[in-house]
Amino acid sequence: MKPVESPSEIQQLFELLEAHLEQIRQGIIKEHSGNSDLNQRGSLLAALGNSRKLLERLRGQIQREQALLHCLLDPQLRVHLAHHPDPWLGEGIQREVTVLFADLQGFSELCDRLLLEEIIPLLNRYLQLAWEAIRGEGGVVDRFMGDAILGWFNAPFDLPDHTYRALRAAWRMQQGLALLHASLPPAQRRRYRIGVHVGEAVVGPIGTLDYWTYTVVGCVVNYARRLQEAAPPGQIIISRAVFERSRDRIEARALPVFPVRGGAQVVPVYRFLGFREEHA
């Protein structure tokens, strides 16, 4: 996986421009060192000074806009899009991904009992926990949808062992709740319901040229969502494909067969119980 932090190309261009302006300033001073050219030199230096002021204003404006946009996209996607400035030129990236879908049990009902000013701070504490767990395992946080979270692993950059990492992220989310709950009153304690599936998907821009998001699309996403919806509070439900990838490293229990939407076919699913000691 490529690093997600790198020097801003815009910042590098600003530094290069500043260096050129300084070279011009030094050239003006050297070329017009005689007294006969004082007025001309003064005018050129004044123009140069004004250019520097405009440059600083431009830098400040761009930094403010970058700071705002910086928080609207996962760091890995920022790096990917910085190197692919026109994602609409392609048809997206088709590859295998592991998808993690989660939501908070009963949070909508809890909102009915909270003061309006209490809802967002509380929700953000839960979402922060999920963000840190997914990002800590190399995944991408696609979006927050109210109290639901969509994350994926192995796109846009390669992530070895991505299915196992997704399970680690899901486990970290559940285990992290104990610490969070210790700081909350009992009435505000909620648990995650999580589904995890692995399969082929397309990652790319979805929307219009004027308004779009960079996301993952495919049956793997829909199925992970259905697993999440079937999960009881505090549990992680995984597909057979996830189980087969990790069966030697995890503990899981088979559940009653799970219906596949659109037909009579049923498939086994599993409740993820944790990691075996040698792989913990």
Average pLDDT across the chain, whole number: 82
Q: Confidence class of residue 98 from pLDDT cuts 50, 70 and 90?
A: very high
Rounded mean pLDDT of 201-215? 82
How far from 135 is each of 4, 5, 132, 238, 243, CA to CA, in Å?
Answer: 11, 13, 5, 20, 22
- What six digits make up the tokens of 196? 């995890």
Span of 19-28, 156-165, 182-191 with lowest mean pLDDT: 19-28
Contact criterion met (CB below 8 Å) for 39 and 19: no
CATH topology of domain 89-279: Alpha-Beta Plaits (3.30.70)
Residue 104 reports pLDDT greater than 80 = yes
Instruction: Measure CA of the first residue to CA of the last residue in the chain; give whole Å.
Output: 22
Q: Confidence class of residue 192 from pLDDT cuts 50, 70 and 90?
A: very high
- pLDDT value for 231: 93
pLDDT digits (tens, 9 = 90+) for 108-127: 889 888 888 999 999 999 99
pLDDT digits (tens, 9 = 90+) for 3-15: 444 446 666 667 7
- pLDDT value for 130: 96
How do strand 236-239 and strand 250-254 relate by DSSP bridges?
unpaired
More confident residue, 214 or 162: 162
pTM of the model: 0.74
Q: Where are the domains of the chain?
A: 9-70, 89-279
More confident residue, 102 or 14: 102
- Segments of 161-268 assigned E as strands: 192-207, 212-217, 236-239, 250-254, 258-259, 266-267
Please tell me the distance from the alpha carbon of residue 156 to that of residue 10, in angstroms, as a whole number.
23
Residue 161 reports pLDDT greater than 90 = yes
Please tell me the distance from the alpha carbon of residue 73 to that of residue 105, in angstroms, as a whole number.
26
